[in-house]
Amino acid sequence: MAEHFTCDVLVVGSGPGGYVAAIRAGQLGLDTILVEGDRLGGTCLIRGCIPSKALIEAAEKFEQAGINASGNSAIGLSADKPKLDFKKTIAWKDDITDRLSTGVAGLLKAANVRVVSGWAVFENAKTCSVGDDKITASNVILATGSKSVELKGLPYAKNGKGPIISSTEALDLTSVPKKLAVVGAGYIGMELGIAYRKLGAEVTFIEADKSILPGFDKQLSAPVSKWLRDHNVKIHTGSFAQSVRTKAGKHTLIYTDKSGTKAELICDKVLVTVGRIPNTEGWGLENMAIDMTPENNGAFVKVDDKCRTAMRGVYAIGDLVGEPMLAHKASAQGEMVAEIIAGKKRTFAPAAIPAVCFTDPEIVLVGMTPAEAKEKKLDITESKFRWAANGRALTNGTADGGGFVRILALKNTNRIIGIQAVGRHVSELSGEFVLAIEMNATLEDMAGTIHAHPTLSEATMEAALSALS
């Protein structure tokens, strides 16, 4: 029998923005309903951030075991040649996502949030249908997330059975492809391409830009480029994928190279990672009288610094509202919106949002880069400290590959406005970097803070000391 529910807050989408918003709203005593058409956790937990990092970790362990078996271990380890049961690897990855999804369900239940399974379709700004049922809310939080961009000539295979796959299917393969073509050398393609190279695939990148990792400067991407060269990964920049031809069970990717010449690449799978776009279709956005942003061809929902849309009582968060399309941004916005609805005074105005590229080596980007500071005509001090001079980095392999920590500060005040790093395991330093900028720390603050020895974090202190010398 169809029902009509009412609530204080309706959250659509259970990704890291949606479930955090719903939990916080419930904790604050608001009658909250969360609608989700898939599993709880959204793209990040189920088919993005978490499973990809699990695959990356498994790949790293497999590669290191292979190095030990080859007799090339720098620390003298040796072992038998490793064997990979990839189905078991995927099962381990799935177990992690299952446990986290179950944990989200438990947190929602503890916060007294009602979860409605199904696809929400809005008939107006405050009322939607989910199957035969209807929900009317005083406040609506849109957290529908994003999806992979599909190229016209490279349509994704249904159920991942064909040669052309997105990052979602790449995390659910039953075997490691012998030859993998990756279309797009941005952070998603790089993360997965490097992981599959470590697992034994022959990997080739096709990138339209003139360099890998567009958006990261060459100082930061250079160590990653070195890793790719050292591991015989082929990269075709300035190249455009066109189509895939399949004949007698064999697949050929057809592309044009930087000279405009048609070229072919035989492969088992073609992984397309050319970006993500917000999920704005199929749930009645056109019935909600909401404005879209003028930039990016109106792809994103327009919001103010409180994530309010043009319709009173309707909020939008996360990937739906634009860059950076990062899980932790969505979570911060979700928590803020729930508190605003509960009557608290909040504004979304972070000093910096950290971005991490989980390649080998990892890249961390926080605050302004030298190019951005130059564009703003800021007079800055820039200093780097290389991992090769850090004791902990030398003992755990972080020093290999030419990585560093780079710190930027305003010359007149020494206030830190940007910190970037490239090296193994450096993602764990992102919290220190963003905290320094959020708290308006100066070079003197960072240099004067006693860091534990021996740790990677000392490099940040040393970079600040160098800037002051």
Q: What is the pLDDT of residues 92-138, one digit of tens each?
A: 999 999 999 999 999 999 999 999 999 999 999 999 999 999 999 99
Final residue of a domain: which of 315, 341, 367? 341
Please indicate, yes or no, whether residues 288 and 212 belong to a single structural domain of this protein: no
Please indicate, yes or no, whether residues 110 and 190 belong to a single structural domain of this protein: no
Phi/psi-derived region of residue 275, left when phi > 0, alpha when psi is between -120 and 50, beta in every other case: left
Say how far apart CA 396 and CA 341 lie, in whole Å. 47
DSSP code at position 454: T
Domains held by the chain: number: 3
Final residue of a domain: which of 247, 274, 301? 274
DSSP code at position 287: G
What is the pLDDT confidence band of residue 162, given thresholds at 50, 70 and 90? confident
Please indicate, yes or no, whether residues 380 and 428 belong to a single structural domain of this protein: yes
CB neighbours (10 Å) of residue 394?
A: 14
**In the annotation, is 425 catalytic?**
no
- The pLDDT tens digits of the residues spanning 45-76 come to 998 999 999 999 999 999 988 877 776 777 77
Q: Which two tokens stand for residue 64?
A: 């290191």
380 belongs to a structural domain:
yes
- Find out whether 171 and 205 touch, Cβ atoms under 8 Å: no
Average pLDDT estimate for 402-412? 97
Helix (H) or strand (E) holding 465: helix 458-468
Q: Is pLDDT of 21 > 90?
A: yes
| Active-site pick, 231, 251, 425, 453 | 453
- Find out whether 203 and 180 touch, Cβ atoms under 8 Å: yes
- Which amino acid, one-letter code, is at 50? I
Which residue range(s) make up the domain with 394? 355-468
Please indicate, yes or no, whether residues 262 and 406 belong to a single structural domain of this protein: no
196 belongs to a structural domain:
yes
Q: Is pLDDT of 78 > 80?
A: no
57 belongs to a structural domain:
no
Final residue of a domain: which of 215, 242, 274? 274
Please indicate, yes or no, whether residues 137 and 26 belong to a single structural domain of this protein: yes
What is the pLDDT confidence band of residue 400, given thresholds at 50, 70 and 90? confident
